[in-house]
Amino acid sequence: MEKLAGWIKNANYTVVMTGAGMSTESGLPDFRSNKGIWKDRDPIALASTEALQNNRKAFFSFYQSRIKALEEVKPNNGHYALADWEHRGLLQSLITQNVDGLHSKAGSKNMAELHGSIAALRCHNCGYKLSSEAYLENKTTCPECGGFFRPNVVLFGEMLPEKAILFAEQETAKADLFIVLGSSLSVAPASAFPAEAKENGAKLVIINKTTTELDDHADLVIQEHSISEALEETNKFL
């Protein structure tokens, strides 16, 4: 952690990318583990463009339950540490694969949410937005055009938002220190960003409970500590 702190202090441009492991420490399930969201569930039947068009009752019920569950979830110390680093000028930007909005709740500002945010709904027809709390009030109809409200997240069958991808690509190109937190680096295109940063000459740090395909190329790999523990320990040297 002392080594990592030294790299952070000496870096000109630090970028962090977070995955599901960042949120599991707040009590949220991941997606594909034995206890994950998709255990015994078909994501295509619940969270796809097909479900949005043809099975709206199941689609709405699934996302209503997710939004309700998120009401009880708070950012963990790792989320707050990253927001603090940004505030102190130690972290320049954040790329996240998570849709739970916990980074925003913790105070992070300069970031790309690659898969959108479940904190908001948008009309599938006209794009009108409102808070996801409307789902908890069983509101699904847009007051502007009568269209259907859906979570502002990327569904199975949809492309990632161009603006978020462009932001991530530009930030990756600037990084001389790239830190991965809680991602198995198995889902494209997010998995490409740390590899690109490393190819551009950045130091690569991976903090994850399990091995990743980039471990052998990383300058520092930490598996024995949770993300929160690792960041809190690093903070002692900053």
Give catalytic residue positions.
115
Q: What is the 3-state secondary structure (H, E, C) of the chain?
A: CHHHHHHHHHCCCEEEEECHHHHHCCCCCCCCCCCCCCCCCCHHHHCEHHHHHHCHHHHHHHHHHHHHHHCCCCCCHHHHHHHHHHHCCCCCEEEECCCCCHHHHHCCCCEEECCEEEEEEEECCCCCEEECHHHHCCCCECCCCCCEEEEEECCECCCCCHHHHHHHHHHHHHCCEEEEECCCCCCCCCCHHHHHHHHCCCEEEEECCCCCCCHHHCCEEECCCCHHHHHHHHHCCC
Which tokens go with 218?
Answer: 């990383």
Whether the CB-CB separation of 82 and 231 falls below 8 Å is answered with yes
